Amino acid sequence: MISVLAIGLVVVTSLVIGVYGVRAARSTSDFLVASRRVSPTWNAMAIAGEYLSAASVLGLAGLVLKNGLGTMWYAVGFAAGYVAVVALVAGPMRRSGAFTVPDFAEYRLGAPRLRKLCGCVVLVIMLLYLVPQFKGAGVVLALVSGTPYWVGVLLAGLVVSGSIAAGGMRSATYVQAFHYVVKLVFLAVPAIYLVVHSSPHTRSEALTPERGTHFPEATPVEFTVGTRFSLDEPVTVTVPDGGEVELAAGEHIADAGTEYVFPEGATIPRPEGLPELGGERWSTPLLDVGGYPLFETWSALLAITLGCMGLPHVIMRFHTSPTARTARRVAVGVIALLGMFYLFPAVYGLLGRVLTPHLVLLQGTDTVAVVLPEQAVPGTVGAVLAALVAAGAFGAFLSTSSGLLLALAGGLSHDLFQGSVPRLRLAVAVGACVAVLLALPAQMTDINVLVVWAFTVAASTFSPLLVLGIWWRRLTLPGAASGLVVGTVTATGAVGWSMLLPTAGGWTSVLLAQPAAWTIPLAFATMMLVSRLTRPPDWAEHAVLRLHSP
């Protein structure tokens, strides 16, 4: 109940800020204040607020718990992406005056058709990014209010599209900056409290994981989905009607709806395909899902770092800076703010392994940050802390998905069709509907897997377009178009294949699940090769010059 209240409070506050929080001036001298640009600090906070999505607030902690320490590389990538943005695109993008990537494509290559193509790619990326946000909001809402998952997703869709329709993004800068504070505080306070108040034993166990984690107390585990798991030693569990069932060592299949109570001290069963919690593979600081840790780590890092610059809603934020210098300062500020934030998902992940390891069994690791406080600190304090985290997570969902939905709607109404305001509103509604529909079957998919998919597509399409468009005069229209098509098809197709169809395992499945390492070079190569074969437009020299002259 407290959680629902806290979430409601976050929603209402951000709506109020969004509608009325624009700087108001009542005398003529205030005009000057109103016409002055926003400071880099506010801007950096706004960018960080929009960027920190459910993937960072919920997904990361869940992945640390489930797949091990190596998943912290995602956080490294999310922050490092801004280094690439500062170094390669922030300044020139601002000088071009372009607001979105399709704008930039039109500025640089001057073709309305390319604009349409870019609009399509924006749609793909934004949908891939929106679905996990809705999934995150759905699980959080379902968890705190006890409703089924689909109600949560539907509610999330209504809240976000309703708040946009009510004008909640009119003053996007202040809303997003507010959301950054919400996320940081609401995640940091419970995390610090948990660290301080957990027993020394828990702390040491969190930092020096032992092989094979045990249930800290007798724990009821209700399987909401059918799960295949294996046991290293036999264990006797209690079933709801009071009887006892002896589970032998080896493979077991629990059907959806099964409920077992594991006794205190029993070894946590290991779901199929996952590393042993606290085991060697779990503790190795490399991403290891398919068996080729070094390649997977590099590929994911490349996807996230380069994908950041290609995300449509990230790039448009640098337009607000008055000079290229401030644009870069803003980006550096963002890196600091992100770095500060990413300390906390790690805390939840590490403590979660000790205190709530059964989430792995339930395939519900995305909820660890919300479940953990109540497990660790029973009573009112725990409920309040859980409410804070839930509200922070919902804030993350609200800020990111509002930004994404607006970018998606903008792409729909502005790039693909000739835009008008009713169309923009319609596009917001359509985008929200599609995202909700796609999020409904995604309950069991990890938030971060979907987010990294979106980053991979962005890295294989817009990042070559921006990098080559800014730094290479010879880029041509056919080159850019073919690179975009190749990047979209390969990146979307590879990850989609690995998620929806069974793969043989080994190298093929790793290459499909983490395709960035080959799709990005492929997209770059296609753009350069086709550009070499065709003639650049006459104004290329001039357009590139303007991007770089101060």
Query: What is the contact surface with other proteins in residues (CB under 8 A)?
Result: 22-28, 30-32, 34-38, 42, 97-100, 103, 106-107, 110, 167, 169-173, 317, 319-322, 406-407, 409-410, 413-414, 418-421, 424, 427-428, 538
Find the helix or strand (DSSP H, E) in which 235 lies: strand 235-238
Q: Exposed, middle or buried: residue 313 (CB in 10 Å: 0-12, 13-18, 19+)?
A: buried
Q: What's the closest the beta carbon of residue 482 comes to other proteins, in angstroms?
A: 22
Assigned token pair, 170: 């009119």
Q: What is the DSSP letter of 380?
A: H
* Closer Cβ to other proteins, 219 or 326, answer by number: 326
* Closer Cβ to other proteins, 34 or 529, answer by number: 34
- Judge contact between 100 and 411, C-beta under 8 A: yes
Residue 151 CB neighbour total at 10 angstroms: 14
* Closer Cβ to other proteins, 117 or 354, answer by number: 117
Q: How far is CA 495 from CA 302, 492, 499, in A?
A: 15, 6, 6
* Closer Cβ to other proteins, 36 or 197, answer by number: 36
Q: What's the closest the beta carbon of residue 550 comes to other proteins, in angstroms?
A: 14
Ordered alpha helix ranges (H), 198-236:
200-207
* Closer Cβ to other proteins, 320 or 498, answer by number: 320
* Closer Cβ to other proteins, 515 or 536, answer by number: 536
Distance of CA 153 to the CA centre of its chain: 16
- Pairing of β 244-247 and β 235-238: antiparallel
Q: What's the closest the beta carbon of residue 397 comes to other proteins, in angstroms?
A: 19
Q: What's the closest the beta carbon of residue 174 comes to other proteins, in angstroms?
A: 8
* Closer Cβ to other proteins, 172 or 387, answer by number: 172
Q: What's the closest the beta carbon of residue 521 comes to other proteins, in angstroms?
A: 30
- Which residues are CB-contacts of 237 (< 8 A; sequence separation ≥ 6)? 244, 245, 247, 260, 261, 262, 263, 266
Q: What's the closest the beta carbon of residue 542 comes to other proteins, in angstroms?
A: 12
- Per-residue buried b or exposed e for 39-70, using 16+ beta carbons within 10 Å of the residue's own CB: ebebbbbbbbbbbbbbbbbbbbbbbbbbbbbb
Q: What's the closest the beta carbon of residue 99 comes to other proteins, in angstroms?
A: 4
* Closer Cβ to other proteins, 42 or 344, answer by number: 42
Q: What's the closest the beta carbon of residue 21 comes to other proteins, in angstroms?
A: 9
Q: What is the 3-state secondary structure (H, E, C) of 306-344?
A: HHHHHCHHHHHHHHHCCCHHHHHHHHHHHHHHHHHHCHH
Residue that the structure tokens 């919300």 belong to: 370
Q: What's the closest the beta carbon of residue 233 comes to other proteins, in angstroms?
A: 58
Rounded-to-integer distance, Cα 418 and Cα 356, Å: 51
Q: What is the DSSP letter of 267?
A: B
First-to-last CA distance in the chain? 55
* Closer Cβ to other proteins, 246 or 538, answer by number: 538
* Closer Cβ to other proteins, 100 or 356, answer by number: 100
Name the maximum alpha-carbon separation found in the chain: 81
3-state secondary structure of 62: helix
Q: What's the closest the beta carbon of residue 171 comes to other proteins, in angstroms?
A: 4
Q: What's the closest the beta carbon of residue 450 comes to other proteins, in angstroms?
A: 24
Residue 273 CB neighbour total at 10 angstroms: 8
* Closer Cβ to other proteins, 231 or 424, answer by number: 424
Rounded-to-integer distance, Cα 231 and Cα 506, Å: 25
User: Could you tell me if residue 128 is left (phi over 0), alpha (psi between -120 and 50 degrees) or otherwise beta?
Assistant: alpha
Q: How far is CA 461 from CA 113, 200, 385, 433, in A?
A: 16, 48, 41, 25
Assigned token pair, 453: 């998919």
Q: What's the closest the beta carbon of residue 94 comes to other proteins, in angstroms?
A: 9
* Closer Cβ to other proteins, 117 or 194, answer by number: 117
